């Protein structure tokens, strides 16, 4: 919270808030929310302009106390004047930036954002379903360096680092083969999830683990468009002729894959129970 009386504390908080906004504004779920951010940025720009003027005034009013490292007052006073001049120049440029921002704010206010188009069942069947495959899972000492990187530079830095474990088709094939495929990024109670593009970062500083998943589109199965013809019990037993009217046509649907199993693996109905994974949240480290 701002103190309104301690410039050092408030400057540090403003810097951290802007850093947080820079990270959070990478993705907007609703583009209409940008209008609210615009309003706050316009107000913040006015306050920043005032800060520059006050910094310049402070340098001018206290230049009698200005010295350089060698105790030279003349040199110190000249630097104070030069700093004040540069601050005034920055304020002038900020006025231009404010005008541009205010104009963009006005244009944005005239936009009527429509909802994102809904993907129909037919479109999903044609393009395939999206799943998440595990790229890498680290825990313990292996995860400590990555968690420290995330804490220092933000989750985007952690994603960039962990993408080095992604070997493309090789990683995809290994995840599908081992069943590290999920409908959604699996998380625990204290896990934090950050999604950026095709990647989802899951990390938990308290438990000491971090993982990276990548979006994978499962290609549609042409067999799903066919129909299975199921004959009656009498026809199977060979009692009487096979009457086409006695056949029942049942659409063939693909069973939903359980969590931790491959969404593209062909199911053998005569095989034994499928091997379960040890942990739904565990990924694959290559």
pLDDT in tens, 59-110: 999 999 999 999 999 999 999 999 999 999 999 999 999 999 989 988 888 8
Structure tokens at 153: 């530079």
Q: Is the pTM of the predicted complex or chain greater than 0.75?
A: no
Residue 138 has phi, psi (to 5 degrees) of -125, 145
**Sign, Cα dihedral of 251, 252, 253, 255:** positive
* Pairwise pLDDT comparison (278 vs 243), residue with the higher score: 243
How far is 163 from 7, CA to CA, in rounded Å? 40
Domain ranges for the chain, please list them.
Answer: 31-109, 123-270+277-286
How far is 82 from 59, CA to CA, in rounded Å? 9
Query: What pLDDT, on the 0 to 100 scale, is given for residue 118?
Result: 54
- Per the CB < 8 A criterion, the answer to whether 283 and 136 are in contact is yes
Q: Mean pLDDT check: name the lowest of 23-37, 88-102, 126-140, 191-205.
A: 126-140
Give whichever of 28-37, 47-56, 171-180 has the largest mean pLDDT: 47-56
How far is 214 from 280, CA to CA, in rounded Å? 16
Structure tokens at 176: 């599908």
Query: What pLDDT, on the 0 to 100 scale, is given for residue 228?
Result: 46
Query: What pLDDT, on the 0 to 100 scale, is given for residue 128?
Result: 60
Q: What is the mean pLDDT of the chain?
A: 77
Q: Which residues pair with 250 in a beta bridge?
A: 228
Sequence-ordered strand ranges (E) for 171-255: 181-182, 192-196, 199-204, 209-218, 227-230, 248-251
Query: What pLDDT, on the 0 to 100 scale, is given for residue 217?
Result: 83
Q: Which residues pair with 193 in a beta bridge?
A: 202
Query: What residues contact 2, with CB distance under 8 A and at least 6 apart?
Result: 10, 13
Q: Which H or E element spans position 84?
A: helix 73-109
Looking at residues 249-268, what average pLDDT do you find? 42
Query: What pLDDT, on the 0 to 100 scale, is given for residue 246?
Result: 45
How far is 233 from 246, CA to CA, in rounded Å? 10
Query: What pLDDT, on the 0 to 100 scale, is given for residue 223?
Result: 55
Neighbours of 84 (CB within 10 A): 19
The model's confidence at residue 41, banded by pLDDT at 50, 70 and 90, is: very high
């Amino acid at each position: 919270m701002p103190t309104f009386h301690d410039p050092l504390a408030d400057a540090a908080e403003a810097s951290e808030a802007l850093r947080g906004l820079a990270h959070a504004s990478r993705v907007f779920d609703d583009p209409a929310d940008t209008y609210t951010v615009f309003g706050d940025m316009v107000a913040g720009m006015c306050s920043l302009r005032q800060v520059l003027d006050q910094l310049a005034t402070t340098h001018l009013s206290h230049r009698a106390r200005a010295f350089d490292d060698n105790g030279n007052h003349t040199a110190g006073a000249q630097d104070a004047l030069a700093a004040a001049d540069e601050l005034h120049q920055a304020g002038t440029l900020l006025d231009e930036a404010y005008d541009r921002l205010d104009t963009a704010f006005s244009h944005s206010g005239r936009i009527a954002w429509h909802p994102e188009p809904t993907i129909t069942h037919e479109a999903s069947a044609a393009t395939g379903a999206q799943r998440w495959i595990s790229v890498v899972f680290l825990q313990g000492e292996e995860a400590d360096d990555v968690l420290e990187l995330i804490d220092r530079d933000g989750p985007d830095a952690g994603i960039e680092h962990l993408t080095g474990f992604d070997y493309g088709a090789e990683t995809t094939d290994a995840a599908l083969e081992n069943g590290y495929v999920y409908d959604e990024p699996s998380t625990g109670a204290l896990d934090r999830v950050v999604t950026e593009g095709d990647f989802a970062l899951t990390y938990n500083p308290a438990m000491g683990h971090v993982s990276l998943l990548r979006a994978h589109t499962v290609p549609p199965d042409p067999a799903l468009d066919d129909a299975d013809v199921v004959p009656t019990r009498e026809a199977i037993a060979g009692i009487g002729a096979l009457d086409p009217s006695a056949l029942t046509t049942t659409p063939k649907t693909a069973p939903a894959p359980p969590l931790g199993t491959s969404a593209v693996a062909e199911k053998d109905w005569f095989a034994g129970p499928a091997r379960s994974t040890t942990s739904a949240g565990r990924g694959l480290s290559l």
